[in-house]
A and B are shown apart, each in its own frame.
Chain A
Amino acid sequence: MAQARGSQVRPAKRAAPSSSPKPSAVRSRREAPLPPLRELLANRRWSLRKEPFPHAFVDEVFVPEFAAELDAACAKVLSGERLRHFGWYDAHAWNFSETTSGPLRVFITPEWRDMVASVLGVRVTPHVAGGIHHHDIGSANGMVHSDYNPVYFPLIDEPAGDRKRPAAGAGSRRRAGSGTLAPVQLSQANLVGYTTGVAERPGVEIVPVARAVVFLYYLGNEPWVRGDGGETGLYRRSSDPVDRPAAAIPPRNNTLVAFECTPSSFHSFITNRRLERNCVIAWFHRTIDEVESRWGSEALERWKV
C-alpha cells in the first residue's frame, strides 16, 4: 500500500542546498566527469533471479576504490545534510538533486539508468527519483508493497531529445551506452509533488509516469551477519508476513538489488535490530500508456494522500 506523508526533519549540522527554481534535466557541471562505468564496475556478472519475482542481485558492484568513495560520500550526507523522516515509514531520506556532486552522481547518470533498465529488460523514460535512505537501529518493519505506483514530474523543455522517447530498449536488451542517451530528469519536489502530483508553483505542467524499476545499493553500513536484520525482504504475496520473506537481501556494502516494479514485486524493509542501515535507492519510470497496455488501467497502486 502506498502512502505519501511525512514531515519530521532529522537534525543536521548544516542546511540542505536550495533547489533549482526551474524544471530542468541534469546537465554537466564543472566537476570532473566520472570515469566510464566499465572502469567503475567490478562485477560483470550480474545474477538474475526468478524467485519470488524477477530481480537482479549483484555483489562487489564497484571496484573497491570507488565503493570506498561512495561510502565516504554517504557518511558525509548522513552527517551534514538534512534528512527528512517519512512519518508513515520509519526511515530518513535524502534526495538526489541537480546539485548532487561527487561519486553519488553515478546513480543519476543516463548510463547507469539505462544499464540497470537494460539488465532488467525494461523500457524507461528519462525520469529518475531517489537518494539515500537511512534507518536508525530498531526502525520498524516496513509494509509489504509493490512500488507499482503512479508518480509525477514537471514537464521540462526538451534540451536534448524527446522526453517521450524511451531511454532504454524494452524486451530486447541492448548494449548499455549505445546510441544517444536521454538526459536524466530528476524529480523536483519544489515544483511538483513526486507522489501527490500537486504543482507547487503556478504554470508548471505535470507529467504522470509510473515507477518501472527500483534499485537499492547498500553502502556505509557496518559488517552484517545473520540476525542483524535490516534486509530487504522479497515476497510472493502482499499478505505475507514481513518477517517471513521468500528471499531476503542483506544490507552488505557494495551489493545491489534491482527489480521491475510490477503489480507483484512485493518487498519491504525488515527491522534492523543491531545496526543502522543505509542504502542508495532510486526509481526509473515508464509511461502510463505502457502500464495500461500491459496491466490495465486499474492495476496501479494509487498513493493515499
Chain B
Amino acid sequence: MEGMNGERPVLLLTGASGTLGTALGSALRSRYDVVAVRRFRQLRFASQLRSFVDPLDPAEPLEENVEPSYEIVADLSDVREIGRVCDIALAKFGRVDVLVNAAGVPGGATLLRGGLRPAARVFEINALVPIRIAVELTERFWRHDEAGNRARSRCIVNLGAASSLDLEPHLGGAAFSSAKSSLNVLTGHLAHELAPFSVRANVVAPAPFPTVVPTERVVAAVDQMISADESGRMLVVWPDGDELI
C-alpha cells in the first residue's frame, strides 16, 4: 500500500503486544504510521510512551526508536473502549487506512474439562471484537470517504486460524477454533457489506506460530493481503506453503 501525497498510510493494529503483534509492529512501522493497541502486556517496539536505550551507550541513537508507533491501552472487550480507540486514532492521524486485528485469546481446556467456560469471552475477543472495530471505523470514517478508500485501497485483515477450517479436533482448542470459524464467516459478510465503500476485508489463517510455522511467514501473509486487491478471501498459512481460499 502506497501513501498519498507523501503521507504514510495509517495502520491500526490490535494485539500489538502479543507474539504476532510484536512481529507485525516491528516489521511494518517503517512503512506505516502504526497505532498499536494493547492491554496487559507491554509493547516491545517504540511508541510515544516508550523508547529504547543501550545501557552502555545511552547517548547513541538507536534504529529501534525511529518511527515510533502510537500506543493506546484499551480493553477491547468493552464496547465503549472500541469507540475510544477509533476516536483517538482518527483524531491523531485523521484517517485509518489498514485495520489488522491480531488481538486474540486462547481457548483453554477440552470440552469435558470445562472448555466451554471461557467460550463466551473467546468468542467475544476472537470473533466479535474484530468486526465491532471494523463497524465503528466504518461509521466514523470509511462510510464517508469512498473515493479515499478506493484510492488508498483501504482494508481489514483479520487474524484467523488454520484450525478453523476442518473438523479435526485440536484438543483444547474447541472454543478457539470455532470462534475463528465464526470470524471467517463474519469477515465474508463484512467484505460484502463494505464493498460499496471500497473497503476490503480478508482473513489470514495461519497454522500455529511460531511452533508450526515461523511468525515471519504470518507477517508476510498479512502484508500480502494488505497489498492485494482481494476481498472476502482467506490466505491460509500451512506448514508447506500458503493457500488462497
A interface residues with partner B (beta carbon < 8 Å): 37-38, 41, 44-51, 56-58, 115-116, 118-119, 121, 172-177, 226
| A46/B59 contact (C-beta < 8 A), A51-B49, A57-B42 known | no
Q: Is the CB of B64 within 8 A of A48?
A: no
Extra contacts besides A45-B53, A46-B52 (6): CB < 8 Å: A37-B55, A38-B56, A45-B64, A47-B44, A47-B51, A119-B58
Inter-chain contacts of B57 with A (CB < 8 A): 175-176
Residue in contact with A47 in the complex, picked from B42, B48, B59, CB distance below 8 Å: B42
B interface residues with partner A (beta carbon < 8 Å): 40, 42, 44, 48-59, 62, 64
A165, B193: Cα distance in complex, Å: 69
Inter-chain contacts of B62 with A (CB < 8 A): 45
Inter-chain contacts of B56 with A (CB < 8 A): 37-38, 41, 44, 115, 175-177
Query: Smallest Cβ distance from A85 to chain B, in angstroms?
Result: 33
SS of B interface (majority): loop
Residue in contact with A173 in the complex, picked from B40, B44, B50, B58, CB distance below 8 Å: B58
A56, B58: Cα distance in complex, Å: 12
Show 24 A/B contacts (Cβ-Cβ < 8 Å), sorted by A. A37-B55, A38-B56, A44-B56, A45-B64, A46-B54, A47-B52, A48-B51, A48-B52, A49-B42, A49-B50, A50-B50, A51-B49, A56-B53, A115-B55, A115-B56, A116-B55, A118-B55, A172-B59, A173-B58, A175-B56, A175-B57, A175-B58, A176-B57, A226-B40
A48, B51: Cα distance in complex, Å: 5
Residue in contact with B54 in the complex, picked from A45, A50, A51, A57, CB distance below 8 Å: A45
Query: Smallest Cβ distance from B116 to chain A, in angstroms?
Result: 21
| A49/B49 contact (C-beta < 8 A), A57-B42, A172-B59, A176-B58 known | yes
A57, B64: Cα distance in complex, Å: 16
| A118/B50 contact (C-beta < 8 A), A47-B42, A49-B42 known | no
Q: Is the CB of A45 within 8 A of B59?
A: no
A290, B110: Cα distance in complex, Å: 61
